[in-house]
Chain A
Amino acid sequence: MTAAGRPALSVSMAPEREFSSFRDPAGELFWQAGAIYRGINRCYERQFRTALQSGLLEGCVADRLLLPFEVVDAAHSRYVALLKPRQLSFISYPYEWSFDQLKDAAIVTLELHLRALRHGMLLKDASAFNIQMVDGRPCLIDHLSFDLASEHSVWPAYGQFCRHFLAPLALMAYVDLGLGRLLQTHIDGVPLDLAARLLPRRTRLRPGLLMHLHLHARLVHKHGSSGRKVAARPLSPESMAAIASSLLALIEKLSPRRQATEWSSYYSDTNYSAAAFSAKERTVRELVQASAARTVWDIGANDGHFSRVIRDLADEIVSIDVDPRAVNSNYLQCRRNDIRNIVPLLADINNPTPALGFANRERRALCERGRPDLILALALVHHLAISNNLPFAYIAEFLAAQCRSLVIEFVPKSDSQVQRLLLNRRDIFDDYTEEHFREAFSAAFAILERRAIPSSDRSLYLMRSKASEQRSKNR
């Protein structure tokens, strides 16, 4: 601690700049001694002091809209102020969120802007990448997103907000829940003209969408190449608030029409009896407890039922599924029950989210974003091995590189779910047997325990990754 009572920045290691932190000249993110810091440059000093002294930052942190932070002593650094935000162990991206996750993130962004306007400031960035799921809720992580309202004629982030939030949400609501994935190919937000072309004509009858999306797209297209500098009398904070409130009303009303997806009736279609299902729940809990894991990735989590079953056994559970509706149901259940340590995530294990952005270094690949203590892979192996023709050895190698322990369910060919997969295709999977499964997994894992699930042909395994043991020895 310093004389001022603030914690001081450790100077024992050289700082390493966070690559993605190059867009905003107001400051930069860097890593030092395993912790992330945000340095504030001189050009943003006045804005930061105003946000701090007006109580804006404090109020937003108190209401869980902004990531908690502490001001660190920056006496020997090149910054005018230095922040140490609460450290996050897992980062998710907007293209990995379900409809309601993105919708709540949009609402939080607008609430922050409206609150800033009441403090004589505004939100100068409305990037969905500035939001993270923290303790089960969306939360702004960029402490330099506020600017003095008097410096702007209009809300400078209006277009960005519509591209990052409104356009994907409207497409998910009116066309297909999977279209949130467009944010993966358009990392600066879905172009409004593209969204306007994809949306059904009837969306022009909704005044909010007509104004903020269709008319917006047309004006962006019409004036984008004019090369004129537009000058006008600045909008009052009340007018800016009226525009934000109109967007808020529009977003709050958006909801996806009922779209049936591949997995929407998974748990009602299952072949488990109630007794077998509760036996499976008990066994999963016991095996997770035996692994002593604090961080878990539940892959193929469906609506997150088993993530919730083990939620008291871990600090953080990333609950991954490929189905947008299942992930949304998971998020809504967590939100309703105020479950804070589960992060529902939309991703395909057969094609995990890749690294994106400039030099492929702005947004990290899913597999680069942490290595959990435990991977839970329930009722998944048959989808990888049969639906995607993956050899057991590939699956084992991938999982062993990604975790320390593994709880995996083997679903035999006799199981009705596997029979469904083979219903209309030739069975070329002679190697799909429990014996081959054990053999392939033994190469990458030490098998610690096997438990049969009563009243079913399935079994659960607890394994420990050999690669992980090697990594621990090398450390």
Chain B
Amino acid sequence: MRWIIAVLAMLLALSQPAYAYLDPGTGSFILQMILAGALAAGASVKLFWHRIKSACLRLLSGSSQGVHDRK
């Protein structure tokens, strides 16, 4: 029994990735792909938001102009 546990433990230990073979570049690569998409989406939302905001402001200033006109 002890032998089986020892062999299993050994197999588990061997299946762990060796630290020396870790490639830090892959994670950074994937993250940049995600970030590029997220930042582009963020920029679009920002632009869209600015457009909505300026349209609302135009609308509001237009209606207040109308109030002045009536006076």
* Contact surface of A with B, Cβ cutoff 8 Å: 153-156, 158-159, 162, 211, 215-216, 218-228, 230, 232, 235, 239-240, 242-243, 246
| Complex: A153 Cα to B32 Cα, angstroms | 10
Whether a CB of chain A sits under 8 angstroms from the CB of B35 is yes
Q: Which residues of B contact A158 (CB under 8 A)?
A: 28, 31-32
Closest to B35 in A: A243
In angstroms, Cα B17 to Cα A373, docked, is: 53
Q: Known contacts being A220-B24, A225-B17, is A230 close to B36, with CB within 8 Å?
A: no
- B28–A220 contact, CB under 8 A? yes
In the complex, what residue of chain A is closest to B36 when comparing beta carbons?
Answer: A239
Do A219 and B33 touch across chains, with their CB atoms under 8 A apart?
A: no
B32 touches A154 (CB 8 A): yes
Task: Report the count of interface residues on B (CB-CB < 8 A).
Answer: 20
* B40 CB within 8 Å of chain A: yes
A243 x B36 contact (CB < 8 A): yes
Tell whether, in the assembled complex, residue A220 and residue B36 are in contact, meaning their CB atoms are under 8 Å apart. no
CA distance A304 to B47 in the complex (A): 48
Residues of A within 8 A of B25 (CB): 156, 159
Cβ of A156: which chain B residues have Cβ within 8 Å of it? Answer: 25
Q: Closest residue of chain B to A219, judged by CB?
A: B27
Q: B36 contacts A223, CB within 8 Å? A: no
Give residues of chain B (32-65) contacting chain A, Cβ–Cβ below 8 Å: 32-33, 35-36, 38-40, 43
User: Are B36 and A224 touching (Cβ within 8 A)?
Assistant: no
A246-B35 contact, Cβ under 8 Å, with A224-B22, A225-B21, A225-B22 = yes
A216 touches B31 (CB 8 A): yes
Determine the chain A residues whose CB is within 8 A of the CB of B28 once the complex forms. 154, 158-159, 162, 216, 219-220
Q: Is the CB of A224 within 8 A of B27?
A: yes
**Is A230 a contact partner of B29 (Cβ separation < 8 A)?**
yes
Contact of A239 among B29, B31, B40 (CB under 8 A): B40
How distant is A363 from chain B, measured CB to nearest CB, in Å?
A: 21
A242 to chain B minimum Cβ distance, whole angstroms, is 4
Q: Is the CB of A221 within 8 A of B39?
A: no
